Structure 1
Amino acid sequence: MTTGPLTAGKTPATVITGFLGAGKTTLIRSLLEQAAGRRLALIINEFGDVGIDGEILRACGDPTCSEDDVIELANGCLCCTVADDFVPAIEKLLARPQPPEHIIIETSGLALPKPLVQAFHWPAIKTRVTVDGVVAVVDAAAAAEGRFAPDPAALAAQAAEAGQLDHETPVEEVFEDQLLCADLIVVNKTDLVGAADLAKVEDLIRAAMAEGGMAEGGTGREAKILRASNGKVDPVVLLGVGAGAEDDLANRPSHHDEEEGHDHDDFTSFVVELGPQPDPAALAKTLERVAAAHGVLRLKGFIDVPGKPMRLLVQGVGTRIQTHFDRFWKPDEPRRSRLVVIGETGLDRDAVTAALS
């Protein structure tokens, strides 16, 4: 691990950012599995009222991932509640008899990472914790589908023909802000795309970096691009970057640099309560159809399948739905079927709920 004079003696923290469904939780779970006895602690932030990612990590069955090692803040934006939530969470971890050797912070998929990095200047933690690195996780399949930005060649053609580009969408802005704050960019789910699409995704990332004054190994601040499948990246690469990102904010541009603050009015989330679902395959087909019809960005939750002792984990990114049984229901645990639905503002909650009921 590399440390500079401003970071020596501080507890390192790694911020894991990335758009909805990129595989942040999967990457963190992989890190836990490879912890090799290192004391890691997690702060998990979600956009929505029901915490799914923290529960997934608690269910990992790994001895390095105890209940006490996971702090879940389901308020949608850590940097908007620094004094109330984030700083107390950090202080709670540091006050433990055996404090963590490294803190991993998973932001919500809609979070802007730069304001969170700025929060490390808060007086109560400034001299005690440093941002070792910001890791942006990218869903290769979603990026290849054009979910975050049009094809670079299409953009060039549009500019040549019309003399200007369309304004960025809220999704594109969040995606680019996450890239431009990163020290490492993990292109995840590479097993879902071919070589040509993977090259297109990496070109898209480099174009966004260049537009923001960054480069991979060139002029400007460097952010290295890594490839991964199922979030598997060597912890030696991810932990120990030594970036001291809180003291490098000027080199991490954001679409919101000129704003007094920021909000999340472009996105919405809600919870849909379902009854028992006897046919997981049929449920997946229904979710795929509803996501396509209503423009749902993200679906995730747990489902009660009658006759099965384990709960069904549902993960959806756009119309790509995945399910698997992740752990046994606990004896005192109510067997509920609940899904968190996330989309852009205007998503018809009543219509989605009716379609799933």
Structure 2
Amino acid sequence: MRRLPATVITGFLGAGKTSLVRHLIEQAAGRRLALIVNEFGDVGVDGGLLAACGAPSCRPGDIIELANGCLCCTVADEFLPTMQALLERPEPPDHILIETSGLALPKPLVTAFRWPEIRSRVTVDGVIAVVDGAAFATGRFTSTPEQMARPDHDNPLEEVFTDQLATADIVLLNKVDLLDPATLAEVRGRLAAAVRPGVHLLETTHGAVDARVVLGLNAAVEEDLAARPTHHDAGEPHQHDDFESFAVTLPELTDPEALEARLRATIAAHDILRLKGFVAIAGRPARAVIQAAGPRLERYFDRMWGENEPRAGQLVVIGCRGLDRAAITRQIQGAAA
């Protein structure tokens, strides 16, 4: 019996995983897709963005959100029951896309495909790692020689990032439109040196790639894990305690530009890794999405507000452990006045 293919999409916070998934949905070509979207924190955002795309190949019931934790640490409690429920549907999907949290390690998730309950029915078609080219160029995921020489050196961002690369079959160097030619060449060279031999490196903007390139790899990754060594193979625990997340609520805005200015200042002052969510703008019938990865921020409309939907905003803040939640909340909510 043919096994159902599943593609794992990994990549650090804000790399462009959700944009990639939306492009793949739009290119489904009649295939029924199911999406498992995992987010770090209690509040899910990406699932709502994907549901708003309205593609017939992926209906709202085909999008499953798993929030409040990374799948790499909750495979037994959340992933296995979710997969079993998908497989038992009267009309199971033709392909499963799994968008992991930006802080998740893909290898423990792929290992779960070896479990007897799903091994005979599903295979990992491939692991796609999305890299924020602009963030990588600034050294966001690498340690300096001086830092590495310290006996107490610890860089959780680097560990997560390199483990994601190590498991990949294809690496998408995303946001290349933000890089000049010289920087792009330098970044591409560094990435090529960091991945396993044979891993394809593709350049993308806004996660746009031909679905035929990244789906249908037939890699059977769950049978090939020994060839994908990572930092955590020796049993070193993945410390989610290094990161934290919380949500900030906002009333309807009258001055979204003032909010954006305050958000940029807040991100810089508190070294916020990721900020995303929705806001309501007075006089505008559509919901506005706010996305920020590091210092870069964008705002756009994704769908109309529902007739009985509260016109209130909510932004999810993610950063390293020790965020001053009270100060960040005051700054953001003060900008919403």
TM-score, normalised via structure 1 length: 0.89
d(CA) in 2 for partners of 1:164, 1:85:
39
Q: Which residue of 1 aligns with 2:103?
A: 110
SS in 2 for 1:265: helix
Superposed counterparts of 1:230-245, under 5 Å:
230-245=206-221
d(CA) in 2 for partners of 1:163, 1:33:
44
Given the alignment, which residue of 39, 54, 61 partners 1:46? 39
SS in 2 for 1:114: helix
Q: Which moved more, 1:113-122 or 1:261-270?
A: 261-270
Given the alignment, which residue of 121, 142, 149 partners 1:149? 142
SS in 1 for 2:241: coil
Contact 1:301/1:339, CA 8 A, preserved across alignment: yes
* Offset, 1:164: 5.2
Q: Which residue of 1 aligns with 2:176?
A: 190
Q: Which residue of 2 aligns with 1:289?
A: 265
* Offset, 1:262: 2.9
- The CA deviation string for residues 226-258 of structure 1, in whole angstroms up to 9 with x for no partner, is 111111111111101111111111111111111
* Offset, 1:338: 0.5
Q: Which residue of 2 aligns with 1:3?
A: none
* Offset, 1:287: 0.7
* Offset, 1:315: 0.3
Contact 1:135/1:183, CA 8 A, preserved across alignment: yes
Contact 1:26/1:231, CA 8 A, preserved across alignment: yes
Q: Which moved more, 1:179-188 or 1:247-256?
A: 247-256
Which amino acid counterpart does residue 162 of structure 2 have in structure 1? E
Q: Which residue of 2 aligns with 1:133?
A: 126
SS in 1 for 2:123: strand
Superposed counterparts of 1:271-350, under 5 Å:
271-350=247-326
- The CA deviation string for residues 182-236 of structure 1, in whole angstroms up to 9 with x for no partner, is 0000011111111111112212212322xxxx22xxxxxx211011111111111
d(CA) in 2 for partners of 1:67, 1:332:
19
* Offset, 1:261: 4.4
Contact 1:79/1:119, CA 8 A, preserved across alignment: no
Q: Which residue of 2 aligns with 1:75?
A: 68
Consecutive unaligned residues in structure 2, runs of 5 or more: none
d(CA) in 1 for partners of 2:263, 2:91:
44
Seen in structure 2, the aligned counterparts of structure 1 residues 168 and 225 have a Cα distance that, compared at 3 Å, is: farther
Which amino acid counterpart does residue 255 of structure 1 have in structure 2? H
d(CA) in 2 for partners of 1:163, 1:145:
17
d(CA) in 1 for partners of 2:169, 2:207:
17
d(CA) in 2 for partners of 1:198, 1:40:
33
Superposed counterparts of 1:157-196, under 5 Å:
158=145, 167=153, 169-196=155-182
Seen in structure 2, the aligned counterparts of structure 1 residues 260 and 187 have a Cα distance that, compared at 3 Å, is: closer
Q: Which moved more, 1:274-283 or 1:101-110?
A: 274-283
Seen in structure 2, the aligned counterparts of structure 1 residues 146 and 65 have a Cα distance that, compared at 3 Å, is: same
Asked if residue 61 in structure 1 is aligned to residue 54 in structure 2, the reply is: yes
* Offset, 1:345: 0.5
CA RMSD between the two structures: 1.8
d(CA) in 2 for partners of 1:163, 1:51:
35
d(CA) in 2 for partners of 1:254, 1:260:
10
- The CA deviation string for residues 283-333 of structure 1, in whole angstroms up to 9 with x for no partner, is 111111100000000000000111110111000001111000110001121
Q: Which residue of 2 aligns with 1:267?
A: 243
Contact 1:287/1:319, CA 8 A, preserved across alignment: no
Superposed counterparts of 1:201-280, under 5 Å:
201-209=187-195, 214-215=196-197, 222-259=198-235, 261-280=237-256
SS in 1 for 2:240: coil
Q: Which residue of 1 aligns with 2:115?
A: 122
- The CA deviation string for residues 34-85 of structure 1, in whole angstroms up to 9 with x for no partner, is 1111111100000011110000000012112211110110122113222321
d(CA) in 2 for partners of 1:227, 1:130:
26
Q: Which residue of 1 aligns with 2:93?
A: 100
* Offset, 1:169: 1.0
d(CA) in 2 for partners of 1:329, 1:236:
34
Aligned residues: 332
TM-score, normalised via structure 2 length: 0.94
Contact 2:32/2:57, CA 8 A, preserved across alignment: yes
- The CA deviation string for residues 138-181 of structure 1, in whole angstroms up to 9 with x for no partner, is 0111111221126xxxx6xx48xx99589451111111110000
d(CA) in 2 for partners of 1:279, 1:61:
29
Contact 2:251/2:311, CA 8 A, preserved across alignment: no
Given the alignment, which residue of 323, 328, 332 partners 1:352? 328
Seen in structure 2, the aligned counterparts of structure 1 residues 103 and 318 have a Cα distance that, compared at 3 Å, is: same
SS in 1 for 2:262: helix
Consecutive unaligned residues in structure 1, runs of 5 or more: 1-7, 216-221
Asked if residue 14 in structure 1 is aligned to residue 7 in structure 2, the reply is: yes
Contact 1:144/1:201, CA 8 A, preserved across alignment: yes
